A and B are shown apart, each in its own frame.
Chain A
């Protein structure tokens, strides 16, 4: 298939990956523009610490700048530093993992968040996949993503209490969980987005959406 496929010369995805920016070049391009600092914890690649007010702006720039083109958001990673030895900064951090399909470079952005106000702007408008990564981070750490369209639990049961990857969540703790998530609200939202108007959710056996 690779040989027979008609080449579409306009698509950058068909071209070989181009050499990306080096760590030094990324630093000069980004540090001043977003008042970022280099995270000393990442001694292998480059992690830039940005303030949470600049995160959305920085992510938009990373995605759209023609010399950077960080078009893939690989992951959103929550970290709880509660029991980290000699940690003085804020309790939480969220690390965003970017890579590019055009250039051979990667970058991590890291935002520190205070325990009392663990809220950060959502990137769902820039990267659709952020919706799922952010749901997972909310589920596991209780970090709120402002502007997220559907901030529900992802891995844990919808009746689950607490955020299990926080360091103060006991790892042996049990919870009793019973009913399935009917998911009717999500389905109705999806139908509305497609132009359907829901008159009544009732239809025979499937109306609870549960049972399974």
Chain B
């Protein structure tokens, strides 16, 4: 592309497509960039390669049938989407699940956050050529997936919650398994930190690379660890606590400069905070029911169904029709691994959702990304793209 630069010089820029299928994009994302040598002069981004009409599909089924689709949003931490969706519907019903369910959900949320961060950091390090760390983190992640498998039979797409409770209670020995894995997570984080934190190559590749200021990040609607890396001390778990997060002792991790290094290290240290929250939640985990007894949501006891006409009708209506949230429009959000994951639900009082809009946290990061990489070099781009953790499943829906 022949251009005249602002200084008046004739410059030949090379236009190049990075993606949609590129090893460094970790998903189907497309960047179209104008390069001067290895420097990115201008870039524009495109998305939608993994768009499967999530919001149209879920209007066709019942509320319970939405749940398996939510697994496919952020597939690195599928349970967070399950819990976020159920929490939004539960807000419409005005119910809170039983205490044991909430504690279990906190354990699952924080373990999901841990594995999401593990994947983000280690694949990012692979992009930088640091392959060793990948095995430290992926082995640990694998152990969490073993727990998932024991818990619900599925590894990646769990569908573990139900509206008003859980698919089922945790298996005996769940807490011990989790505690053992938490120790492994801490060990892996210590190993990786030892390898990278004072590593000159790593620091040169990430410090002051593709920074974004706090003001810009807020204007671009960023949330979550990427926003905190810019020095904005905001976390829904602290600011608008839900599920008793105010009872847990933990710190929000914030960065200073909003560069690639800070984004990675914020995630790294958040893993340790999540380990601490998970331990506290396990300590508070008491035996009890995991499903609400609200007849609008929960199947009646089997014995009652066989002997009581009302219970039989209740069971029949819930299975053949589904739950009916009150008509209205309701938004609710949780702090997912990537930021604020919200669901706006429009209900017409029927059994099918009239409209559900997902607010995917990485949408805003991807929107700002082409502007961030202008002025950077092509190899920096891979590092920066990994650090904002774009998950195409939730980006494109």
CA distance A194 to B327 in the complex (A): 49
Residue in B3, B255, B344 whose CB lies within 8 Å of A1: B255
Interface size on B, residues (CB 8 A): 87
Expressed in whole angstroms, the minimum distance between the Cβ of A135 and any Cβ of chain B is: 9
Interface centre among B44, B214, B220 (most CB of A within 10 A): B44
CA distance A41 to B347 in the complex (A): 9
Q: Is the CB of A212 within 8 A of B17?
A: yes
| Contact digits for A161-194, partner B, Cβ 8 Å, 1 yes 0 no | 0001100010100000000010110110011001
Please indicate the chain A residues that have their CB under 8 angstroms from the CB of B240 in the complex: 104
Q: At the interface, yes or no: A77 with Cβ under 8 Å from chain B?
A: yes
| A1 and B231 contact, Cβ closer than 8 Å, known pairs A181-B46, A196-B3 | no
Q: Is the CB of B1 within 8 A of A201?
A: yes
Q: Is the CB of B233 within 8 A of A14?
A: yes
Please give the residue numbers on chain B whose beta carbons come within 8 Å of chain A beta carbons, in ascending order. 1-6, 10-17, 19-21, 30, 32-34, 41-44, 46-48, 51, 53, 55-57, 59-60, 91-92, 214, 218-221, 223, 230-234, 238-240, 251-256, 262, 265-266, 269, 326-332, 340, 342, 344, 346, 348-350, 354-355, 357, 359, 363-364, 367-368, 370, 374, 396-397
| A41 and B221 contact, Cβ closer than 8 Å, known pairs A5-B255, A199-B3 | no
Residue in B42, B239, B340 whose CB lies within 8 Å of A17: B239
Expressed in whole angstroms, the minimum distance between the Cβ of A159 and any Cβ of chain B is: 12
Chain A residues touching B, majority SS: loop
CA distance A166 to B68 in the complex (A): 23
Q: At the interface, yes or no: A60 with Cβ under 8 Å from chain B?
A: no
Q: At the interface, yes or no: A75 with Cβ under 8 Å from chain B?
A: yes
Question: Which residue of chain A has its CB nearest to the CB of B346?
Answer: A79
| A2 and B234 contact, Cβ closer than 8 Å, known pairs A75-B359, A95-B344, A206-B14 | no
Please indicate the chain A residues that have their CB under 8 angstroms from the CB of B46 in the complex: 181, 183
Name 26 A/B residue pairs within 8 A (Cβ), A-sorted. A1-B256, A13-B230, A13-B231, A41-B346, A44-B330, A44-B332, A71-B219, A74-B359, A75-B359, A77-B357, A80-B355, A129-B368, A131-B367, A140-B55, A155-B47, A155-B51, A165-B56, A169-B56, A171-B56, A191-B13, A191-B42, A195-B5, A196-B42, A200-B2, A203-B14, A206-B14
Q: Is the CB of A79 within 8 A of B234?
A: no
Q: At the interface, yes or no: A43 with Cβ under 8 Å from chain B?
A: yes
Please give the residue numbers on chain A whose beta carbons come within 8 Å of chain B beta carbons, in ascending order. 1-2, 5-6, 8, 11, 13-17, 39, 41-45, 47, 71-75, 77, 79-80, 84-85, 95, 97, 101, 104, 106, 108, 127-129, 131-132, 140, 153-157, 164-165, 169, 171, 181, 183-184, 186-187, 190-191, 194-203, 206-207, 209, 211-212
Q: Is the CB of B256 within 8 A of A5?
A: yes
Please indicate the chain A residues that have their CB under 8 angstroms from the CB of B218 in the complex: 13, 71-72, 101
Question: Which residue of chain B has its CB nearest to the CB of A5?
Answer: B256
CA distance A75 to B330 in the complex (A): 14
